Amino acid sequence: MPHFFPNRPEITDADLFAATVPETLPHKHVRLTLGRRAFAQCDLLTLVVAGAGKRAMLEACLSINADPQALPAALIAEQGHAIAFTD
């Protein structure tokens, strides 16, 4: 699943549709990220969040003080058309 990666410059580019992200530790391969423009074109964003740790991250992302640079999923709150399934 393509997504934003923390502390990457792609997060601030509102016109970006998609980009490759170079390998960064601990990942040993190039990854794909969708940009804000791609997410803005979605009629509905659907998230599947499994595990207590990921649920805590989701809650942090949805907090009013969330920093999108550190927690890119916080940008989902800007979309206004997302649903999250959690366990």
Give the N- to C-terminal CA distance of the chain in Å, as an integer.
Answer: 19
Residue found under tokens 């990942």: 27
The CA-based angle 14-56-50, given to 5 degrees, is 90
- Do β-strands 82-86 and 45-49 pair in parallel, antiparallel, or remain unpaired? parallel
DSSP letters for 14-52: TT--EEEE---TT--S-EEEE-HHHHHT-S-EEEEE-SH
In this predicted structure, what is the pLDDT of residue 2?
A: 46
Q: Confidence class of residue 3 from pLDDT cuts 50, 70 and 90?
A: low
At 28-72, the pLDDT tens digits run 888 888 888 888 888 888 889 999 998 998 899 888 888 888 888
- Provide the sign of the torsion angle of the four alpha carbons 15, 37, 30, 73, taken in this order: positive
